[in-house]
């Protein structure tokens, strides 16, 4: 009998401990989600923009109004980091495919080559639906200004060597933007661990709007 009482006490103790842990988890992580960092100077926001996507449609800041979105810079003829970046961006796309509150903007740094037709051809490799994943082109200076001043990443044309085709220098970063157009995360788009963290952070950021 004494052994049975001890067993009952232990079972009760561990049940209460489990309930306490679940309660702590709920109120700590469910009721109070982890808040992501905000990048840039106080009050920094993404500026208005107007570019053209792979379907020839004009895309502006109004198309991502009320959405969480991810930004990158690349060019279609890149043989360096771009294929790896967009393979990883495809993982982000697949994680949230068909979910209207999540969008992706992939900006070219080589608009002379990356015409609407070229971007469409490239986007088909990733089965990108333009209602969610836009590959955009436009005025080169406007594209570069958005990278540097709004998204706080690099995008420039290297013309230091004459008489050869220019190189395009762009960041490997993916940038996470919230619904208020604040930067909430910057990730290495060539790194699988960082891309997983981006997906996890999008899920966390969503909780701020629940």
In CATH, the architecture of 50-207 is 3-Layer(aba) Sandwich (3.40)
Q: Which residues pair with 104 in a beta bridge?
A: 70, 133
pTM: predicted TM-score of the whole model, two decimal places: 0.82
Six-digit token string for 38: 């905000």
Kindly list the domain boundaries of the chain, sorted by start residue: 1-32, 50-207
Give mean pLDDT, residues 163-174: 76
Residues 185-202 have pLDDT tens digits of: 999 999 999 999 999 999
Residues 119-130 have pLDDT tens digits of: 999 999 999 999
């Amino acid at each position: 009998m004494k052994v049975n009482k001890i067993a009952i006490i232990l079972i009760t103790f561990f049940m209460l401990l489990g309930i306490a842990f679940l309660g702590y988890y709920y109120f700590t992580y469910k009721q109070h989600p982890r808040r992501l960092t905000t990048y840039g100077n106080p009050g920094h926001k993404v500026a208005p923009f107007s570019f053209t996507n792979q379907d020839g449609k004009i895309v502006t800041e109004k198309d991502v109004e009320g959405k969480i979105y991810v930004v990158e810079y690349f060019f279609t003829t890149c043989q360096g980091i771009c294929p790896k970046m967009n393979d990883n961006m495809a993982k982000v796309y697949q994680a949230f495919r068909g979910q209207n509150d999540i969008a992706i903007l992939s900006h070219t740094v080589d608009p002379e080559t990356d015409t609407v037709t070229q971007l469409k051809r490239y986007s088909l490799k990733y089965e990108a639906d333009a209602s969610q994943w836009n590959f955009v082109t436009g005025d080169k200076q406007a594209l570069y200004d958005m990278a540097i001043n709004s998204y706080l990443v690099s995008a420039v044309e290297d013309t230091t060597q004459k008489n050869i085709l220019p190189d395009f220098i762009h960041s490997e970063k993916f940038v996470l933007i919230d619904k208020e157009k604040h930067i909430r995360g910057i990730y290495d788009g060539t790194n699988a661990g960082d891309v997983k963290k981006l997906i996890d952070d999008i899920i966390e950021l969503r909780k701020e709007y629940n």
